[in-house]
Amino acid sequence: MIALPPRPDLDLASLVRTIPDFPKPGILFRDITTLIGDAAGFGESVRRLSARAAAYQPDFIVAVEARGFLFGAAMATAMGLGVVPVRKAGKLPGVTIGVDYELEYGSDRLELHEGAVLPGHRVVLVDDLLATGGTILATADLMRSAGAEVAAALFVIDLPDLGGSQRLKAAGLDCETLIAFDGD
């Protein structure tokens, strides 16, 4: 395996492609595929997220479907931890526990395998993007219903104008991001 050297000088935001009018007119979509396609950028993102996660001393990294899987699995590997996937309803093959939550356009459900986290486990939640915070708040509720302690939520990108970070902080959940894009 070839390990890339740390790049603390690397501007991660410059590696995120902006696509105007996707998925609808007036939206500036922040596309991380260009960041994860850049070996130095992806590696540095994982290093920075892992360093932040380590400060919370988690037992597991909890990765949220779907792009959170990319960062969460890499972080867990780098940190010598297990990764727990949180998926949308019906995607996991075993016995699951779940939580229903409201979206601006309806409702959804998140699930994890029963026993994947146990009472007393300390977890850090990871996703690629923080918008309104609804999915990560539901994930935190799911972890707490399993008895886990949610130490923090980490993201690559924050869209602060959508209010997610304020919602998480108001709910008592520490959150940290690597990049913020205003006006989206």
In a domain, 11, yes or no: no
**Domain housing 56:** 16-180
Active-site annotation holds for 48: no
Q: Quick one: pLDDT at residue 6?
A: 87
Residue 47 banded pLDDT, cuts 50, 70, 90: very high
134 in Cβ contact with 109 (< 8 Å): no
Task: Give the pLDDT confidence score for residue 183 in this predicted structure.
Answer: 73
Q: Please indicate, yes or no, if residue 7 is contained in any of the structural domains.
A: no
Residue 67 known to be catalytic: yes
* pLDDT of 145: 97
Model pLDDT, residue 4: 76
**Mean pLDDT over the full length of the chain:** 95
Q: Is residue 149 part of a domain?
A: yes
Distance of alpha carbon 153 from alpha carbon 122, whole angstroms: 12
Catalytic residue among 48, 67, 87, 111: 67
Q: How many domains are there within the chain?
A: 1
Q: Is residue 55 part of a domain?
A: yes
Mean pLDDT in residue range 59-69: 97
| The predicted structure's pLDDT at residue 5 | 84
Residue 105 has pLDDT above 90, yes or no: no
For residue 32, the domain's CATH number is 3.40.50.2020
Provide mean pLDDT across the span 60-72.
97
% of the chain surpassing 70 pLDDT? 98
Tell me how far CA of residue 159 lies from CA of 6, 8, 75, 93, 130, in angstroms: 26, 22, 22, 33, 6
> Measured in whole angstroms, how far is the alpha carbon of residue 26 from the centre of its chain?
25
Identify whether 172 is part of a domain: yes
**Residues whose CB is less than 8 angstroms from the CB of residue 106 and which lie 6 or more positions away in sequence, other chains included:** none
Closest CA to 93 of 67, 72, 113: 113
Distance CA 142, CA 125 (A): 11
Say if 146 falls within a structural domain: yes
* pLDDT greater than 60 at residue 27: yes
pLDDT digits (tens, 9 = 90+) for 140-175: 999 999 999 999 999 999 999 999 999 999 999 999
* Whole-number pLDDT of residue 184: 53
The pLDDT value recorded for residue 1 is 54
The whole-model pTM stands at 0.95
Q: Give the list of residues 6+ apart from residue 91 with CB closer than 8 angstroms, or none.
A: 65, 111
